[in-house]
């Protein structure tokens, strides 16, 4: 069927070939020392950060009263950082849309009393996975922020909270769908996203935060590395950052811009996911358990009738060059991750295999 390798892994994700080639080339360059040795406070890195901020502002139309920051590490650290920086001694709301939402809530409860933390609503436990009707949500009138995970990679559940709430107090973990569509920045107090899905490689977290949020009272035990104001004051360098992760992120932002921006990414994202969902909906073998309203554009999950068939599907797919399709150990099934670096041809190859496999069994 194919001799190419297509990586459908949930992350770190596939990168565009142009970004891979350019990053390999840059490793060999000297500025005047090799890129992997370059200091994070050099003029080269100062210019790189400024260019990244400028490009991200243009791509997402970020207003002037929002800051663009880059944190080291992973998204999980932000679950605690958000609570410590924005939720100290305040009432906060959390949407529970699945695994990562649960993790965020658990971290927040370490720093915010349960009497001040309200769960707005929770995803249904039985398929089709959905959220309660809007009138059944429990929104606090005085919430300092309302946190949500924009896309749950475990279940393939995508939630556009800004379509329902426009008060400017949303805080979003957009790790797995960041840079795949235009965003209503004004609806948010803060947006954060690990780079390793759609905007680079692991080690860097994009942060877009309202400037006045930097001056809010923080939890007294907030570590310096988790303090957003210190992150801003140090030019996103309160400690030595993963410089190469920044370089790849800069290349990804440039590539997205060259391809036509987030509008083009949104178009491709819809095309990729529609190809697989159409195949599933026309199939008697594959089943997706998410309500059509919340089907993820970037993580398409489906099950086969039994584990044996799923394992056979995954093994044969790998033999055909279709990698990373195994679902999470807690959910099982098959998961195709369709981030910005995934080509339409890769998805077409997967759909061709799905049809071939169904006809064979």
Instruction: Please tell me which residue in 93, 173, 210, 255 is annotated as part of the active site.
Output: 173
Annotated active-site residue 100? The verdict is yes
| Structure-token pair, residue 211 | 């400037």
CB 173 within 8 A of CB 195: no
Annotated active-site residue 227? The verdict is no
List Cβ neighbours of 246 (8 Å cut-off, separation of 6 or more): 45, 48, 49, 52, 70, 204
CA distances from 156 to 60, 98, 108, 199 (A): 24, 10, 23, 19
Cα-flanking dihedrals φ and ψ of residue 306, to 5°?
-155, 165
Nearest residue to 86 via CA among 111, 66, 105, 61? 111
Distance from C-alpha of 95 to C-alpha of 157, rounded to nearest angstrom:
13
Annotated active-site residue 46? The verdict is no
Instruction: Please tell me which residue in 93, 116, 197, 246 is annotated as part of the active site.
Output: 197
Instruction: Please tell me which residue in 100, 227, 246, 326 is annotated as part of the active site.
Output: 100
Distance from C-alpha of 309 to C-alpha of 101, rounded to nearest angstrom:
31
Distance from C-alpha of 253 to C-alpha of 199, rounded to nearest angstrom:
7
Active site residues: 100, 173, 197
């Amino acid at each position: 069927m194919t001799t190419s390798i297509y990586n459908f892994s949930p992350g770190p994700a596939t990168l565009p070939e142009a970004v891979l080639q350019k990053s390999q080339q840059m490793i060999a360059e000297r500025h005047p020392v090799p890129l992997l040795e370059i200091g994070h406070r050099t003029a080269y890195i100062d210019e790189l950060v400024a260019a990244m901020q400028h490009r991200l502002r243009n791509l997402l139309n970020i207003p002037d009263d929002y800051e663009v920051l880059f944190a080291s590490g992973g998204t999980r650290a932000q679950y605690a950082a958000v609570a410590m920086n924005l939720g100290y001694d305040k009432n906060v709301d959390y949407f529970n849309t699945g695994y990562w939402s649960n993790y965020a809530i658990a971290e927040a409860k370490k720093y915010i009393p349960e009497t001040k933390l309200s769960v707005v609503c929770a995803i249904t436990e039985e398929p089709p996975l959905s959220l309660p009707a809007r009138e059944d949500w429990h929104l606090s009138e005085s919430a300092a922020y309302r946190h949500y995970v924009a896309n749950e990679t475990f279940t393939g559940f995508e939630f556009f909270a800004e379509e329902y709430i426009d008060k400017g107090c949303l805080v979003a973990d957009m790790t797995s769908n960041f840079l795949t569509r235009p965003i209503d920045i004004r609806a948010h107090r803060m947006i954060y996203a690990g780079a390793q899905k759609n905007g680079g490689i692991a080690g860097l977290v994009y942060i877009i935060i309202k400037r006045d949020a930097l001056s809010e009272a923080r939890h007294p035990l907030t570590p310096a590395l988790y303090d957003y104001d210190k992150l801003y004051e140090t030019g996103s360098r309160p400690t030595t950052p993963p410089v190469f992760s920044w370089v790849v992120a800069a290349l990804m932002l440039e590539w997205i811009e060259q391809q036509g921006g987030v509008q083009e990414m949104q178009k491709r994202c819809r095309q990729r996911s529609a190809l697989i969902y159409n195949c599933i909906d026309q199939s008697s073998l594959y089943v997706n358990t998410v309500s059509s309203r919340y089907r993820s554009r970037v993580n398409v999950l489906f099950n086969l009738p039994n584990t044996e068939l799923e394992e056979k599907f995954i093994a044969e797919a790998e033999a055909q060059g279709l990698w990373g399709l195994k679902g999470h150990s807690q959910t099982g099934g098959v998961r195709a991750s369709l981030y910005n670096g995934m080509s339409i041809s890769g998805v077409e190859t997967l759909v061709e295999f799905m049809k071939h496999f169904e006809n064979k069994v």
